[in-house]
Structure 1
Amino acid sequence: MTSTSRPTLQFLGAAGTVTGSRYLVEANGQRVLVDCGLFQGYKQLRDRNWAPFPVDAASIDAVILTHAHLDHSGYLPALVKQGFRGRIHCTHGSVALCGLLLPDSGHLLEEEAKYAARKGYSKHKEPRPLYTEEDARRSLKQLQGHDHEREIEVASGFTVRFHPAGHILGAAHVSLDVQGQRLHFSGDLGRQQESLMNPPTPLPACDVLVCESTYGNREHVPIDQEAELAPIIRRVAARGGVIVIPAFAIGRAQALMLHIARLRERKEIPRVPVYLNSPMAINATRHYHAHHSEHHVSDEDCQRMFDVATFVNTVEESKALNRQRGPMIIISASGMATGGRVLHHIEAFGPDDRNAILLAGYQAGGTRGAALAAGKRTLRMFGREVPIRAEVVQLEGFSGHADAGELLDWMRTAPSAPRMVYLTHGEPDAADTLRGRVQRELGWRARVPEHLERVGLEDAR
């Protein structure tokens, strides 16, 4: 293994893009990887998942996970498959959610490969998944959960502390101390005022900050989520339509069910059937009962989330939904329509102008969700072009990410300025816009790193 005694940071992902978070920290002959995400969206990014990992997986001593979303955790089974044998350190909430997300990801990858082989639309003679459900379950054995705000040694000379970040259950912003240097990784930061989660805790003092910039060029519209949702449901129901909502199984699905339940109770929407067609989202909903310290949803509202929807578990039940008529609401993963059961619902209901597709979160470039948000009227799915005549609505109030102003306000909570801020996990315009604001408004040094760039931590001055 080639390494250095002086600490370095290398950007193996999320540099110039909003996906594939992977940061390699090296010192004292040790390698620690912070996040291990899948690249999603544009094909040239997805192809990186199949490229050889930039360093020998077996040479990595530990992985630190900020949270369970697949763009931060989804490459873990592939890393383990390639020989990584160390511990994967994260919060207890992230252990629970990875137990849902990673096997589901492996299963979907297997199903997509089988479907492509059966339909003959893959360019490969024998399509294969990046990893299998069994690979994912094997990787779960290496997860080790920790409490927030406890110092843990993860490798020789490396200590880590997890701080609540909001965003989703288990999400953390992370302090990593090595050789007298403190790196801080924002992970994905939640909002100051959010439907479910508590706000992120303040930024501790650090030498180098690696901060997300998903919404670095945007301020969220101050909008009441229920006031935004209600008129859409009323008008689609009035025309007998079906509302399909591609929703992230963790966070967005639960928020949607909670708001629909409250609107029903106040009789602001008709009592149309609601279906939650995501076994992972069903199981994730149960975890909100187990992690009350991280969110502000009462037991009563947790129960409302359960009661408002009919849970769809089996493939047969999922297929049967496509033969039903509206009005009805279907909430299904994935949130950016990159895969999962929601694709079959979009295929079934997208061509009918009585129906609607609601986008309830960030849509990364190159995803079907981004194409819909941009007004595209056909989607490539299952080897063919599917016409989209349904009404498409981008919901503005349902983001789980801090916007540019909230990111800057969070940085202001630091007791002192870091020597350098690296803006990652954002599209180029978002990252560069935030860079300019950090420099102008905070007076801090900031830059957007390049993919695979390596920097010396002592040189980040």
Structure 2
Amino acid sequence: MNVTAKFLGGAGAVTGSKYLIDLGEFEFLVDCGLFQGPKELRERNWDDFPMALTQLEAVVLTHAHLDHIGYLPKLVKQGYRGPIYCTEATAELAKILLLDSGKLQEEEAEFARKKGYSRHENPQPLYTVEDAEAVFPLLVPQAFDKPVSIHPGVDLTYFHAGHILGAAIVKVVIKGDYQTKRLIFSGDLGRFNDPVLFPPTLIPKADILWIESTYGDRNAPKSKPQDELAQAILDTFARGGLAIIPAFAVGRTQLLLYHLFLLMEKGKIPKVPIYLDSPMAIETTKLYLDFHTDHRLSAMLEDEQEHAFRHPQLHYVQKQSQSMALNDFRGRAIIVSASGMATGGRVLHHLFHRIPDERNGVIIVGFQAEGTRGRRLLDGEPTLKIYGTDVPVKAKVYHIEGLSAHADQSELIAWAEGFSDSPKRVFIVHGEKESAEALAFKLKDELGWNTIIPQYLESFVLFEGI
């Protein structure tokens, strides 16, 4: 049996992860991500899938971020009807994120039609909400740490990766006629000291390894984000202001809720209302209660009356009218709202009404891509365009580092050192050029590994005659 791999995404970029594994009589895809970011990458989403979907027999997911699952509705729309394996929490998160993605695709197509900026007379969405729903019956949830056969001679096991709820490292064991081989896919690895999620599982052996390199060229600052968060909030309250925190609905919001709860319980900040104003974040937070064994807060959640996701200060804002009513709130409070880079969502109207007031504080807690409103706030621009209006930025902007969901370079190396033998080949994936090259050099220099940075659509023979 010969085994080959083709890189349909996640190669040379931090987006669109798709790795096609071909065993001859069985072909499967690891991850099925949407290309995001620059236009030249997004346009790949419209290309025909580079193989007949009748040949594709399975999809294996590492986690539920759109750059790993967001192409699934298009895949199913084009005719795929096979199983989609994932962890139990990933299955539920995927439903939330794919429905939202389908809604956004429809809204963007409608906006392009109304404004006439598309080169198409009648622009269509990449996929619809209905297309997203067609994915759900194909999801096949799996438990962590329990091997499952996805084809005769091919076993799959999920291990905790940290990063977000349900995220997994994938081990694929291929039993050939003469040899058994192990393929390990890191997925996206989380922080080793994350207070909410388990650290990435150390895997002892791999014949071929795929390792992400998102932060392959940098280390996180040695800071205490909880203390910095407390100081930003106290500083804002001392001015008589209100704190707004733009936060990603999946992962970052739940980590923030944990820190805010502890700060209040320890008396480091006053007990004031916390308004979680993001329907997606609310749905995601409830999954932490359903899958309490998939994270480190199970002991905290045993207290039914009061914990990080359920206590008197925390208010879930479901309705748009309730969200708008917060604009009239006066006094000390914390509003946590999506989106994390202030590119859209309910956080925009909070910023619109609050940033002209110098008493208020905007607390930025994650990476802000070039060109986003969050990045403009960090760069100290005097105005911010929201709803077509240049809004003066008088509120104080704080930047809290150390809350990333991605392992940094030292943690990626530490995870790699967990292998007892050197993999025969190591593919450096899911990273920009500088990050991938820096990690490849480190792994080669410190561990003597045979590292390869694959390019988009490049193919490799992994094994011959196994």
- TM-score in terms of structure 1 length: 0.89
Question: Which residues in structure 2 correspond to 1:100-139 (within 5 Å)?
Answer: 100-117=96-113, 125-139=121-135
Question: Which residues in structure 2 correspond to 1:87-106 (within 5 Å)?
Answer: 87-106=83-102
- The answer on 1:405 being equivalent to 2:410 is yes
The aligned counterpart of 2:201 is 201
SS for the counterpart of 1:410 is helix
- 1:440 maps to a residue whose letter is D
The aligned counterpart of 2:277 is 277
Given the alignment, which residue of 44, 53, 65 partners 2:61?
65
SS for the counterpart of 1:418 is coil
Structure 1 residue 17 displacement after superposition: 1.4
The aligned counterpart of 1:443 is 448
- The answer on 1:331 being equivalent to 2:327 is no
- Structure 2 contact 12–430 (Cα < 8 Å) conserved: yes
Query: Which sits farther off after the overlay, 319-328 or 140-149?
Result: 319-328
- 1:275 maps to a residue whose letter is Y
- The Cα offsets for residues 329-358 of structure 1, whole Å up to 9 and x where unpaired, read as 221223344443334444444555544433
- The answer on 1:192 being equivalent to 2:192 is yes
Structure 1 residue 407 displacement after superposition: 0.8
SS for the counterpart of 1:61 is strand
The aligned counterpart of 1:431 is 436
- The Cα offsets for residues 109-131 of structure 1, whole Å up to 9 and x where unpaired, read as 33344455556666655444322
Structure 1 residue 328 displacement after superposition: 3.2
Given the alignment, which residue of 306, 310, 316 partners 2:310?
306
Distance 1:57 1:430, change over 3 A: same
Structure 1 residue 174 displacement after superposition: 0.5
Question: Which residues in structure 2 correspond to 1:241-256 (within 5 Å)?
Answer: 241-256=241-256
Matches of 1:157 and 1:402 in 2, distance apart? 33
Question: Which residues in structure 2 correspond to 1:350-361 (within 5 Å)?
Answer: 350=355, 352-361=357-366
Query: What's the Cα RMSD here?
Result: 2.7
- Structure 1 contact 62–155 (Cα < 8 Å) conserved: no
- The answer on 1:422 being equivalent to 2:427 is yes
Matches of 1:364 and 1:183 in 2, distance apart? 32
- The Cα offsets for residues 392-440 of structure 1, whole Å up to 9 and x where unpaired, read as 4332121121111111111111121001111111121111111111011
The aligned counterpart of 2:143 is 147
Matches of 2:432 and 2:196 in 1, distance apart? 26
Distance 1:352 1:84, change over 3 A: farther
For structure 1, which runs of at least 5 residues remain unmatched after alignment? none
- The structure having more radius of gyration, on CA atoms, is 2
Distance 1:99 1:272, change over 3 A: same
| Percentage identity across paired residues of the two chains | 47
Distance 1:235 1:410, change over 3 A: same
Structure 1 residue 365 displacement after superposition: 5.7
Matches of 2:53 and 2:324 in 1, distance apart? 40
Structure 1 residue 279 displacement after superposition: 1.6
Matches of 1:121 and 1:390 in 2, distance apart? 34
Structure 1 residue 369 displacement after superposition: 4.3
SS for the counterpart of 2:163 is coil
The aligned counterpart of 2:8 is 12
- The answer on 1:228 being equivalent to 2:228 is yes
SS for the counterpart of 2:75 is helix
Matches of 1:112 and 1:349 in 2, distance apart? 27
- The Cα offsets for residues 227-267 of structure 1, whole Å up to 9 and x where unpaired, read as 01011112223334443322222221111112112212233
Matches of 1:400 and 1:288 in 2, distance apart? 16
Matches of 1:349 and 1:452 in 2, distance apart? 47
SS for the counterpart of 1:12 is strand
Matches of 1:86 and 1:261 in 2, distance apart? 43
Matches of 2:379 and 2:152 in 1, distance apart? 48
- TM-score in terms of structure 2 length: 0.89
